[in-house]
Amino acid sequence: MKFTETSLAGACVLEIEPHADERGFFARTACSTTFAEHGLNGNFVQQSVSFNAHRGTLRGLHFQAAPHEEDKLVRVTQGAIFDVIVDIRQGSACFGQWFGVELSARNHKQLYIPKGFAHGFQTLEDNCEVLYAMTVPFQPGSGRGIRWDDPALNIAWPMGNPAMIGANDRDLPTLAECQLP
């Protein structure tokens, strides 16, 4: 696996190193030992899938409140998304900054998102399937969000206004209005 740190310290883009032959290829997508060597937590306790029928669908920006903050590893098994993280670590030099990367079934890239980040994505195609691995179990009631169009964040969503967005994501607070972990 190739690890590339993003502009937001601690968050990494991971690329596979395929062993190719006439059948196709084999590649490791996660390894707790290798992750630890890069300062990442690879001890995932849950995995979930998100299916999105329509291009332009937006989910986010989400995080879990303390003490349930989670590290996440995100990848796409069908279609393509623009995946976004926002640094919400109080005292961080990058607080309030965002980073985005295209994750697709074709490029096999993954985004490692440490605790202290809000996360969201916009689908770039119809029928996108997104896989998440998390280091902390889902805690009903601890989910928090920041509005996708917070002017202070100024995220350049590639498809513009969401073609679809969940009811819970329509009226989220801005980062400045949020109670942070």
Among 75, 115, 119, 147, binds ligand TDO (CB under 6 A): 119
C-alpha–C-alpha distance, residues 178 and 176, integer Å: 6
Whether residue 68 lies in the annotated active site: no
Residue in this structure with the two tokens 């607080």, named with its chain if needed: 95
Nearer to ligand TDO, 25 or 51 (CB): 51
Among 55, 62, 68, 108, binds ligand TDO (CB under 6 A): 62
Residue 139 sits in the site that holds ligand TDO (CB under 6 A) = no
C-alpha–C-alpha distance, residues 50 and 130, integer Å: 5
Residue 48 sits in the site that holds ligand TDO (CB under 6 A) = yes
Residue 60 sits in the site that holds ligand TDO (CB under 6 A) = yes
Among 12, 59, 86, 99, binds ligand TDO (CB under 6 A): 59
Nearer to ligand TDO, 62 or 108 (CB): 62
Q: Which stretch binds ligand TDO (CB under 6 A): 36-44, 57-65, 101-109, 173-181?
A: 57-65
Residue of closest CB approach to ligand TDO: 138
- Diameter of the chain by CA atoms? 54
Phi, psi dihedral angles at 43 (to 5 degrees) = -95, 80
Question: Which residues make Cβ contacts (< 8 Å) with residue 42, sequence separation at least 6?
Answer: 30, 31, 32, 33, 34, 35, 36, 73
Among 138, 159, 165, 180, binds ligand TDO (CB under 6 A): 138
Whether residue 108 lies in the annotated active site: no
Rg from Cα positions in the chain: 16
Asked whether 59 and 48 are in contact (CB, 8 A), the reply is no
Residue 142 sits in the site that holds ligand TDO (CB under 6 A) = no
The token pair that represents 168 in the structure block: 């819970």
Considering 54, 62, 108, 112, which one is annotated as catalytic? 62
C-alpha–C-alpha distance, residues 49 and 56, integer Å: 18
Residues contributing to the site for ligand TDO (CB under 6 A): 48, 50, 59-60, 62, 119-120, 132, 138, 143, 166, 168
